[in-house]
């Protein structure tokens, strides 16, 4: 069974996508609007822990996801969802590299400012 | 602006979510133990914030480790003083991570909370304002600095 949100392959009978957490139960006409993940928790985590502005970009895309979902524009919501995820990963990677670099650079000076 | 296919190619690399949550739990447990034991104010255990090191200005995350250390020792007010953004985000972070982990392990989903987009825009404005204001060295605003 393929996830309608991100296209990942999942076990048959799975209720949620292993990759994006989206619902795998078929969408019905009267049911609630389909879930498009906004990845907001990752946006906040990288904003707090990675020290660089890219996490804030991810927050902007998360806001767009929920705005598009509320308007019923699901294709735009999925696009914004991919962007939110991408910028969270970018923030994570840049944060990891710069923290590592600064960790080595400031080793032994005994200052902790994070 | 990236096309859809470019974005897909960039995000195709994905960790198995179960492995990801197990790794996150391991990092979290080690982090809690280290943060409880070593006070970030006076031990050379932790790295310096790269943004602060490069620019001399505090970022929205500065004070997070000191805040979490205080919280682990039960000092909520001191924790809020170091970084209110981090402490106030913790309930949302805990709920979202618990929900994501439960879905990854096919347990069950927690009730979904749809946050109206206006609130997320509010968070964006709040984070940017917090970032700017905690760097202003004028008296009432200095409480925002870690």
Question: Per residue in A28-50, pLDDT tens?
Answer: 445 566 789 999 999 999 999 88
Q: Closest residue of B to A45, CA-based?
A: B93
Measure the CA–CA gap between A2 and A8, rounded to whole angstroms. 6
Better pLDDT: B38 or A67: A67
Predicted-assembly ipTM surpassing the 0.90 threshold = no
What angle do the packed helices A54-71 and A74-105 form, to 10 degrees? 170
Tokens for B146? Answer: 């870690």
> What does the block give as tokens for B121?
């825009």
Coil, strand, or helix at residue A28? coil
pTM: 0.76
* A113, B30, B72, B74 from B77: Cα distances, Å: 19, 24, 12, 9
Smallest Cβ–Cβ distance between A60 and the set B8, B17, B124 belongs to B124
- Are the beta carbons of B58 and B145 closer than 8 angstroms? yes
The answer to whether the Cα torsion of B92, B35, B132, B76 is positive or negative is positive
Which of these ranges, A94-98, B119-123, B133-137, has the smallest mean pLDDT? A94-98
What are residue A13's phi and psi, to 5 degrees? 90, -10
How close A78 gets to chain B, by Cα (Å)? 10
The whole-number average pLDDT for the span B50-61 is 86
* CA–CA min distance A103, chain B (Å): 5
Q: Which of A48, A66, A112 sits opposite B46 (nearest CB)?
A: A112
Give dist(CA A106, CA B47) in Å, integer: 7
Evaluate the CA torsion angle B118, B124, B128, B133 in order and state its sign.
positive
Of B50, B83, B121, the CB nearest to A102: B50
Residue (of A52, A83, A87, A51) closest to A68 by Cα position: A83
List Cα–Cα distances, B121 to B92, B114, B127, in angstroms: 16, 14, 10
Q: Which two tokens stand for residue B136?
A: 């202003």
B11, B47, B85: residue with CB nearest A114: B47
Residues of A in contact with B49 (CB under 8 A): 51, 102, 113-114
For an interface test with A, the pick among B14, B16, B50 (most A C-beta atoms closer than 10 Å) comes out as: B50
Q: Answer for the pair B58, B135: CB distance below 8 angstroms, yes or no.
A: yes
pLDDT confidence bin for A113, thresholds 50/70/90 = very low
At residue A108 the predicted structure's pLDDT band, cuts being 50, 70 and 90, is low
- Closest Cα in chain A to B96: A41
DSSP A16: B
- What phi and psi, each to the nearest 5 degrees, are found at residue B14? -140, 135
For residues B65 and A112, the answer to whether their CB atoms sit within 8 Å is: yes
Strand partners, A23: A16
B14 to chain A: nearest residue by CA? A19
pLDDT tens digits, A4-15: 777 778 887 787
Q: Which tokens is A29 given?
A: 């006409």
The nearest CA of chain A is from the CA of B96 a distance in Å of: 6
Structure tokens at B24: 């996150």
The secondary structure of residue A24, as a DSSP letter, is -
Q: Would you say residue B118 has pLDDT above 50?
A: yes
B59 in contact with chain A, both atoms CB, cutoff 8 A: yes
The interface residues of chain B toward chain A in range 101-140, judged by CB-CB distance below 8 A, are 103-104, 106, 109, 112, 114-117, 120-121, 123-124, 127-128
What DSSP string runs through B2-51? --HHHHHHHH-----HHHHHHHHHHHHHHHHHHHHHS-TTT-TTSPPPHH
Per-residue pLDDT at B9 exceeds 60: no
């Amino acid at each position: 069974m393929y996830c309608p949100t991100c296209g990942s392959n999942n076990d048959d009978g799975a209720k949620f996508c292993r990759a994006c957490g989206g619902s795998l139960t078929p969408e019905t006409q009267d049911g609630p609007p389909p879930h498009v993940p906004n990845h907001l928790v990752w946006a906040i985590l990288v904003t707090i822990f990675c020290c660089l502005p890219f996490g804030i970009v991810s927050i902007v895309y998360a806001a767009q996801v929920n705005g598009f979902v509320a308007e019923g524009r699901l294709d735009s919501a999925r696009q914004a969802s991919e962007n939110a995820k991408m910028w969270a990963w970018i923030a994570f990677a840049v944060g990891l590299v710069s923290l590592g670099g600064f960790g080595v650079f400031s080793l032994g000076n005994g200052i902790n400012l994070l | 602006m990236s096309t859809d296919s470019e974005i897909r190619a960039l995000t195709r690399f994905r960790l198995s979510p179960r492995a990801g949550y197990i790794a996150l739990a391991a990092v979290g447990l080690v982090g809690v133990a280290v943060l409880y034991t070593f006070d970030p104010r006076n031990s050379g255990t932790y790295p310096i914030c790269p943004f602060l090191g490069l620019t001399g200005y505090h970022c929205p995350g500065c004070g997070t480790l000191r805040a979490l250390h205080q919280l682990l020792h039960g000092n909520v007010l001191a924790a809020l003083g170091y970084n209110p953004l981090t402490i106030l985000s913790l309930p949302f972070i805990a709920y979202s991570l618990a929900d994501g982990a439960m879905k990854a392990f096919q347990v069950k989903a927690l009730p979904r909370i749809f946050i109206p987009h206006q609130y997320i825009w509010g968070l964006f404005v709040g984070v940017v304002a917090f970032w700017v204001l905690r760097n202003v060295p004028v008296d009432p605003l200095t409480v925002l600095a870690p």
